[in-house]
Amino acid sequence: MVTLKDIAAKAGVSMMTVSRALNGNQNKVSSETAERIRALADEMGYIPNSSARSLAVRSSRIIAVIIRDTDQGNPLMDPYTSYFLGNVVQILEKQNYYIMVHFIRDYSDITFGLRSWNAQGALFLGVFDNEIRQIRQDNQIPLVFTDSYSNVRQMSNVGIDDYKGGCLAAEVLLSHGHRHVAFCGPLSGDTGVIAERLKGFSDTLRKNGCPLSQDQIYNIARIPAEKILDKLLGCAPAPTGLFASSDHIAWQFYNAARKLKVSIPEDLSIVGFDDIAQDQSMILGLTTIRQDIRLKAEQTCGILLRHLDSPKSPSESQILDVELIERESVRFI
């Protein structure tokens, strides 16, 4: 591997001069010498050490993306997470930033990670209120949260109208005559994305005289879709409609229905959420609540970049709209 010492020996200059030339510090290096050193480095196949370079210019250009890990397997198996992350990487790499992804279950150790990476900023996916205060207190770099519900002031967050999405899911089922319905999602407390979707769904049903009983709320983090579907069909009366809190979960019910020889929508109507893999949703004819994930990634990265350019810039909070996409998975009864 070619080193600064090798280039210095070939160029007949000191290692410090080579370092200054390659890091763009030309206060003590003539432009002619700097150009000659850079050309020589290219010719010799020199690959810069990013860690050493970041210390030299005091800028790592590393953005940490922190994703909550769960008991449900690899977080990137969730199409929403992988699609959002892919957009974030594309956007930030165009601005010459490097992305480091970290899955965590305990946020108490994240400060050590951010400092050891020398991260310039961080994006957090789905952080809850009791963690946000400590994260912001312990880390003095630009932080942007996504899909986080908190009363903490002066925090930057980009989310969607999850409550409205739940309302739309209830409305489409009600408008098709469904009075006995169920909800399924990875429930994990009274706040957060899933809790808001459930609240919107439940409130709309109650206002229309069809209260959602606790028995018809299923936590897929604990029970697989096939067992939930089998239990649903055994109820009296059996629910005719189901709101799955994500398309990923809705697809699990399609697979379960195939195994149990259940017909969708004849035996059970399903509404999803996200409309991510549109080809898959269109093949299945899935009625769903669409969120613009590309726009969410753009807004999230935009806020972070503004904070990086101006660390004292005010916090920003944005809530993006959602819309109902009707296909064939909800039938009239």
Residues 282 and 305 in one domain: no
Residues 285 and 182 in one domain: yes
Please check the confidence at residue 129 and state whether its pLDDT lies above 70: no
Residues 225 and 288 in one domain: yes
Residue 331 counted as domain residue: no
Residues 48 and 67 in one domain: no
Residue spans of beta strands (DSSP E) within the chain = 62-68, 98-104, 121-125, 143-146, 157-160, 181-185, 217-219, 241-244, 269-274, 287-291, 317-320, 322-325
Residues 74 and 101 in one domain: yes
Q: Which structural domain range is residue 98 located in?
A: 62-160+293-319
Residue 203: predicted pLDDT: 99
- Percent of the chain topping pLDDT 70: 90
Please check the confidence at residue 54 and state whether its pLDDT lies above 70: no
Residues 156 and 297 in one domain: yes
CA–CA separation, 111 vs 92, rounded Å?
22
Confidence bin at 217 (pLDDT 50/70/90)? very high
- Percent of the chain topping pLDDT 90: 66
Confidence bin at 329 (pLDDT 50/70/90)? very high
Residues 237 and 278 in one domain: yes
Domain of 16, CATH number, reads 1.10.260.40
Residue 330 counted as domain residue: no
**Tokens 């093949």 -> residue:** 283
Number of domains in the chain: 3
Over residues 57-98, the pLDDT tens digits come to: 457 899 999 998 766 667 888 889 999 999 999 999 999 999
Residue 114 counted as domain residue: yes
Residue 201: predicted pLDDT: 99
Residues 156 and 166 in one domain: no
Lowest mean pLDDT among 125-139, 202-216, 252-266: 125-139
More confident residue, 165 or 56: 165
pTM over 0.75: yes
Residues 35 and 89 in one domain: no
- How far is residue 144 from each of residues 120, 195, 310, measured CA to CA in Å? 12, 21, 14
DSSP 158-207: EEE-HHHHHHHHHHHHHHTT--SEEEEE---SSSSHHHHHHHHHHHHHHH
Residue 238 counted as domain residue: yes
Residues 192 and 286 in one domain: yes
C-beta contacts of 91-96 below 8 A and 24+ residues apart: 91/297, 91/298, 91/301, 92/63, 92/301, 92/304, 92/305, 95/305, 96/61
More confident residue, 282 or 66: 66
Residue 332 counted as domain residue: no
Residue 251 counted as domain residue: yes
Residue 329 counted as domain residue: no
More confident residue, 268 or 107: 268
Domain of 112, CATH number, reads 3.40.50.2300
Residue 324: predicted pLDDT: 98
Residues 191 and 283 in one domain: yes
Residues 51 and 196 in one domain: no
